[in-house]
Amino acid sequence: MRMRSQSSHQKQSGAALVVGLILLVVLTLMALASMNTASLDLIMVGNEQFRSRAFATAESGIELAIANTTFNTSADPAVVSGTTSAGDTYSYAITRPSAGAVQNAPSGNSDGTFGAVYFRVTSTGKSKRNAVTVSAQELFQVVKKDNEFVCLTPSTPSACGL
């Protein structure tokens, strides 16, 4: 009886070893591919985070420009730069698309007493990892037209006769 068990072992000729090695190689390749995919996913998430920070920085530049600027038609555009508390940088410029000329007023002004002066605020945000985003916002100031006089002090309407 022992002879038969020895002959069945001889017929296998190490097939279990070959199959085991093949499975080990396949599992190793799958693990390496998973690690590579996970590393790439982390890099992509990090890049998206820095792009998002650059966008938020550019938007904060626009908010600062609107909050801290006195808009007028005769000022030349200036570029203002700054750094956020997180170390990201922004710069913004205020331009006048119509060269500061008084345009027709927005709807609701049928008698032509009021006009509008348009401004464009363009802000560039840059994160620490050099992700860059540019945001722009346009706004206008309603001004009173009085022949050639244009009132540009909306904070004190009485000075404009409003």
Domain ranges of the chain: 14-157
Contact between residue 156 and residue 77 where contact means Cβ atoms under 8 Å apart: no
Contact between residue 124 and residue 61 where contact means Cβ atoms under 8 Å apart: yes
Joined together, the tokens standing for residue 51 give 């792009």
Q: Which of 126, 151, 122 is nearest to 139 (CA)?
A: 122
Per-residue pLDDT of the chain (162 residues), as tens digits, is: 455 555 555 566 778 888 999 999 999 999 999 999 999 999 999 999 999 999 999 999 999 988 887 776 666 667 889 998 888 999 999 888 877 777 776 666 666 778 888 889 999 999 988 899 999 999 888 877 764 444 444 455 444 444
